[in-house]
Structure 1
Amino acid sequence: MQLKGIHHVSAITANAKSNYDFYTKVMGMRLVKKTVNQDAPSMYHLFYADEEGRPGTDLTFFEIHRAGHTYPGTRSISTTSLRVKSDEALKYWKKRFEEHSVEQDEIRERHGRNTLFFRDPEGQRLILISDESNSGVEAGKAWEHSTVPEEYGITGLGPVHLTVNDTAKTEKVLTELLGFRKKGTYEQWVVYETGEGGTGAEVHVEEEPDGQPEKPGRGSVHHVAFRVNDEDELKKWQEIIQAAGYPNSGLVDRYYFKSLYFREANHILFELATDGPGFATDEDVDHLGESLALPPFLEHKRKEIEESLTPLDTSRS
């Protein structure tokens, strides 16, 4: 078995409305699911992705109203990457970020690819990465109704960056337990890949031996999920992870996919998630994200849940 790449990344926002405005209007991503945190249904869980919400394209946010400032440190998913088709797209985004007063750096090469580092309004650390010279896991498709021209749109998730105190511990989990391959190094980063490789299947690890653990808050990343084919394969992964001595959640039914959670040796939360059944399970593809979607096991609490949430209009004319 091989993990197929990045499935999704989940982060924290303190304001769902502002988050929605930035990621749909400025970033041009599609809201493919407006639902709730199944473990705490009084908070929104928003999923932004490509045109259909394909696995490997989902950037998700839990809304925690009182989330404070993030103090960066180790034991963290320190940066999330978003894929675009070309180097030309990065030039478009450079200008777009200037127009929208988005904090950004200069375009520069990282590990043989051109990239653009930026931050969202809550300080979320993000990198746009060009797929111009990329080969490997196929990207998704930018949404044709986006605020961004299709040729420049976000097509999926790129490498996740981990900051840890001891790279050797995380490397052992990635390579010996999860089957990643060590691909190379650049600057202070070590690169690992899985499956078909490429930008959609990489983890970049940075070591800070004396660093203090990150204090998470708004704009921090909660966990990263990796792709598995189906539930049968997920069960086999559970056996492998359990045999290696890592406490885990057991299989969890998230309705849109099934999951397994565990913490790797530097305490970063990893999830393995199935590719299906997907976000069109309970909504028409043309109307994804327009209304509050609840899994069947929460539907009987809809009235109570809706009353606990701040109204968020995501309808599209």
Structure 2
Amino acid sequence: MLQIQRIHHVAYRCKDAKETVEWYVKHLNMKFVLAIAEDQVPSTKAPDPYMHVFLDAGQGNVLAFFELPNSPAMGRDPNTPEWVQHIAFKVDSVETLEATKARLEAAGIPVVGITDHTIFKSIYFFDPNGHRIELAADVGTPDMYERLDAVKWEMLEEWARTKRAPKHAAWMHEKEFHAVD
């Protein structure tokens, strides 16, 4: 039976491979681990030169980018709000979020947040390619995760029927979390 072990890599397009690698190394402390360049796409055999770069996103997670100099300029899906599609990276603490936010802003990178999602807190910003990045620090308790786990299927079923936000986890938006007795 198929059992996924982990994500091997996630690939996005970039405007400039060198600028992208340097930005992720400088601002997110990722290591540049691999570059592959071809004049022909191995899977399709299309004659389309590219530079494919890989960055270590921690614990075996790899973030990759393709620079495609012969393709039309990068764009976004105009029907999808820019906040929807993003790459979220886990960090160790809220203190790391605060320090990273200050460092990014000092480098001239606009940052949204710290946003409180009850079970985690996060900041948001854009890389030089226009990809939205989220850094998230978990702050939830075992009780919170249990409560969310207990209602996930009911919420999904209700959403599928109504296309309206189910209220099973409305407690997440209250100011205080009330433990289940």
TM-score range, shorter chain: 0.5 to 0.7
Larger Rg: 2
Paired residue secondary structure (2:103):
helix
Aligned residue number for residue 183 of structure 1: 33
Deviations 1:197-226 (A, max 9, x none): x2xx211111023532234257x9700011
Is 1:213 the counterpart of 2:74 in the alignment?
yes
Structure 1: runs of 5+ lacking an equivalent: 1-148, 300-317
Aligned residue number for residue 101 of structure 2: 238
Structure 2: runs of 5+ lacking an equivalent: 38-50, 155-167, 176-181
Is 1:203 the counterpart of 2:66 in the alignment?
no
1:155/1:253 CA distance change after superposition, 3 Å = farther
Aligned residue number for residue 192 of structure 1: 55
Question: Which structure has the highest helix share of the two?
Answer: 2
Aligned residue number for residue 297 of structure 1: 173
Deviations 1:52-84 (A, max 9, x none): xxxxxxxxxxxxxxxxxxxxxxxxxxxxxxxxx
Task: Say if 2:53 and 2:65, in contact at 8 Å, map to a contact too.
Answer: yes
Q: Once the 2 structures are TM-superposed, how far is the Cα of residue 298 of structure 1 from its aligned partner? A: 6.0
Aligned residue number for residue 137 of structure 2: 274
Is 1:163 the counterpart of 2:163 in the alignment?
no
Task: Say if 2:118 and 2:139, in contact at 8 Å, map to a contact too.
Answer: no
Is 1:262 the counterpart of 2:125 in the alignment?
yes
Q: Report the aligned-residue RMSD.
A: 2.8
1:194/1:297 CA distance change after superposition, 3 Å = closer
- TM-score, normalized by length of structure 2? 0.67
1:278/1:226 CA distance change after superposition, 3 Å = farther
Deviations 1:96-133 (A, max 9, x none): xxxxxxxxxxxxxxxxxxxxxxxxxxxxxxxxxxxxxx
Deviations 1:148-203 (A, max 9, x none): x5xx234544422120121222212200111111101234311111334x2xx211
Task: Say if 1:263 and 1:270, in contact at 8 Å, map to a contact too.
Answer: yes
Task: Say if 1:256 and 1:279, in contact at 8 Å, map to a contact too.
Answer: no
- TM-score, normalized by length of structure 1? 0.40
Paired AA for residue 73 in structure 2:
Q
Identity of aligned residues (%): 24
Give me the whole-angstrom Cα distance separating, in 1, the residues matched to 2:141 and 2:8: 20
Paired residue secondary structure (1:225):
strand
1:258/1:284 CA distance change after superposition, 3 Å = same
Bigger relative contact order, structure 1 or 2 (CA pairs below 8 A, ≥6 apart): 1
Q: Once the 2 structures are TM-superposed, how far is the Cα of residue 280 of structure 1 from its aligned partner? A: 5.3
Task: Say if 1:165 and 1:211, in contact at 8 Å, map to a contact too.
Answer: no
Paired AA for residue 28 in structure 2:
L
Give me the whole-angstrom Cα distance separating, in 2, the residues matched to 1:211 and 1:165: 11
Paired residues in the alignment total: 145
Task: Say if 1:159 and 1:203, in contact at 8 Å, map to a contact too.
Answer: yes
